[in-house]
Amino acid sequence: MFRLWAKMWKENRLLRDMTVEDDSGANRTKKVMDAVEKVCVAWDLPKPIWLQANIRDFKHRAKTRFGQDSFIEHVDFDWLEIHVIEEDR
């Protein structure tokens, strides 16, 4: 089972969180992208742009934060954090 935890933060306070599960046979990248899209649809957010810093952080820690600079439209929070909390074995 693959699980991704998404958290929305503003002024160091957790506004919302959501866990997305995926037990499909897709590769890790597809699962991550699908999970981020599900979060964006559920919270009515534009999809974030993956900057080099996001890619680097995610590769090393399976966790990254998307700030205002990762969104084309204005968002009313400080950052969106995603974290892979369970991977397929």
Domain residue extents for the chain: 2-86
Summarised one tens digit per residue, pLDDT across range 13-30 is 999 999 999 999 899 999
Q: Which two tokens stand for residue 13?
A: 């306070």
Summarised one tens digit per residue, pLDDT across range 35-85 is 999 999 999 999 999 999 999 999 999 999 999 999 999 999 999 999 999
Instruction: Indicate the pTM of the whole model.
Output: 0.91
Of the CA atoms within 13 Å of residue 87, those in its CB half-sphere come to 10
What are the backbone angles phi and psi of residue 58, rounded to the nearest 5°? -65, -40
In single-letter form, the type of residue at position 41 comes to V
CA-CA distance, 7 to 5, in Å (whole number)? 7
Give start and end residues of each alpha helix (H) in 1-89: 28-42, 52-61
Residue with tokens 């958290």: 7
